[in-house]
Amino acid sequence: MRVAIAGAGAAGLTAAWWAARQGAEVELLESQKQPGRKILISGGGRCNVLPSELSEADFFTSGSRHVLRRLLRTWPLEEVRRWFEEELGIPLVLEEETGKLFPAAQRARPVRDRLAEAVREQGARLHTGFRLERVERREEGFRLAAADGRRLEAGRLILATGGCSVPSTGSDGHGYTLAASLGHRLLPRYPALVPLTTKDAELRALAGISVPVRWRALRDGRPVDAGEGPLLFTHRGFSGPAVLDASHHVVRNGAVLEVSWGAGDAAEWTGWLRGRARRAVERAVGDLLPRRLAALLVRRAGLRGAERCGNLDRGRLDRLLGVLTAFPLPVSGHEGYRTAEVTGGGIPLDEVRPSTLESRLCPGLFLCGEILDLIGRIGGYNFHLAWITGRLAGEAAARP
Ligand SMILES: Cc1cc2nc3c(=O)[nH]c(=O)nc-3n(C[C@H](O)[C@H](O)[C@H](O)COP(=O)(O)OP(=O)(O)OC[C@H]3O[C@@H](n4cnc5c(N)ncnc54)[C@H](O)[C@@H]3O)c2cc1C
């Protein structure tokens, strides 16, 4: 069986390994001069290969949660880790504070290099500079045409062309057009895990400050999701794991993000401020939050920073607690695909068979990785999706 795989990113490389391992003749087609360019820039150049724990709640799709659950069960996390460590020889280490798994080398390049080498060792052929431009479904399989005129035929085709995020790595969204040309619907796509922007100059002036927050995404005043983690102020607005995780609700649905600064809730803040009756309110808040942020929040509550905590009447205390624990982030937009870590939306999950990832509309076509309407949160969850869907599609496409 000849299997062509378009895209040699995380999902395509994994699909190639498993398809070749099953004995298929594998042609791995990559538009760039080298495979896995996005792996190289992942995790700040360290590549957060996997999370150390996961649950269904770490993933988001507008499709069926049942299909998501079935996909996650196809390759348990411990087995994916064993594949990396024992089959590929890439030892992983846990970063305790974040629960993320990184390569012991703490560099992304050896991960990419070893994956590409392992794929070749299994016998797959890598064609770089091969941008799949057009696909024709024939009775006996697929006829593929590259942008530079090269031609190829294959009995099965796996589309592992990624999304639209950071297009300079090669994922320019053409894969969606190819899938649509073979009959698939495209759900609206949007940048996800993306920094948000603000017009609030005072908040932008806090650029560089990172602070732990609890966040809630609200639609029509009702919470739709919540989480916690660090928020980073940037020159354009807000980033950091908390904001990236929450961003898809804002970009996709126009949700409002409300944050609670620091680790405390209203009762804890009240206790903290009451216990510091003689301390200036700005100082008391600044003991738990970065000083410049504390000063700004106290101002936003309409209080004088020098005012003593003990002098706050109920009304002013409530105003301060509101700003500290239910602060609506004034979001004006997002940074777009240039910096988004993943693309939401894409091929609906109900158009693939969850046990094989074969298209329900075009037999012989398989889809894996970010092209599917499925994303994970920050922490190795998106690579996890790439590895498990790549394996599923690769193994299934190789079956006679
Ligand atoms: C800056 C950044 C950091 C990240 N860090 C992490 C992290 O640490 N941990 C984590 O879990 N996730 C991380 N992610 C997300 C993760 O990189 C993606 O979820 C993952 O790479 C998706 O894999 P994929 O194979 O589906 O797509 P991609 O990795 O995008 O691969 C798609 C491949 O297809 C090729 N291609 C596209 N169109 C064609 C065509 N027509 N013909 C031939 N080839 C084509 C592209 O050149 C590309 O090589 C990060 C993303 C970014 C942008």
The string of pLDDT tens digits covering residues 194-231 is 999 999 999 999 999 999 999 999 999 999 999 999 99
Which neighbouring-strand residues pair with 28? 5, 126
Instruction: Tell me which residue has tokens 């804002």.
Output: 250
User: Residue ranges per domain, the chain?
Assistant: 2-189+345-398, 196-334
DSSP tag of 132: E
Whether residue 181 is predicted with pLDDT greater than 80 in this model: the reply is yes
Note the pTM of the prediction, 2 decimals: 0.96
* CA pair distance 162, 36, nearest whole angstrom: 11
Averaged pLDDT for residues 75-84: 98
How far, in Å, is the centroid of ligand 1 from the Cα of 191? 13
User: Phi/psi at 367 (nearest 5 deg)?
Assistant: -130, 135
In tens, the pLDDT along 111-126 reads: 999 999 999 999 999 9
Pocket-testing residue among 41, 382, 388, ligand 1, by greatest number of atoms within 8 A of Cβ: 382
Dihedral-angle region of residue 99 (phi above 0 means left; psi in -120 to 50 means alpha; beta otherwise) = left
Per-residue pLDDT averaged across 250-277, rounded? 93
Evaluate: CB of 171 within 6 angstroms of ligand 1: yes
CA pair distance 11, 108, nearest whole angstrom: 16
Average pLDDT for 127-138: 97
Q: What is the pLDDT of residues 348-375, one digit of tens each?
A: 999 999 999 999 999 999 999 999 999 9
Chosen CATH of 196-334 out of 1.10.8.260, 1.10.357.10, 3.30.70.1400, 3.30.1330.40: 1.10.8.260
> Are the folds of 2-189+345-398 and 196-334 the same?
no
Residue 47 near ligand 1, beta carbon < 6 Å: yes
Instruction: Pull the structure tokens for residue 272.
Output: 């903290």
Question: Residue 243: is its pLDDT beyond 80?
Answer: yes
Give the per-residue pLDDT at 302.
96
For 310-323, write each residue's pLDDT tens digit.
Answer: 999 999 999 999 99
Strand 141-146 and strand 132-138: the pairing is antiparallel
The alpha carbon of 133 is separated from its chain's Cα centroid by a whole number of angstroms, namely 26
CATH architecture of the region 2-189+345-398: 3-Layer(bba) Sandwich (3.50)
pLDDT at 264 over 90: no
Q: Is 386 in the pocket of ligand 1 (CB under 6 A)?
A: yes
Site of tokens 């592992």: 160
Task: Please report which confidence band the pLDDT of residue 296 belongs to, taking 50, 70 and 90 as the band edges.
Answer: very high
Q: Say if residue 66's pLDDT is above 80.
A: yes
Task: State residue 280's pLDDT score.
Answer: 96
54-73 average pLDDT score: 96
Residue of minimum CA distance from atom 34 in ligand 1: 7
**Residue 59 vs residues 62, 63, 141, 207, 255: alpha-carbon distances, Å:** 10, 11, 33, 29, 18
Average pLDDT over residues 159-172: 96
The percent of the chain in helix, strand and coil, each rounded to the nearest 5, is: 40, 25, 35
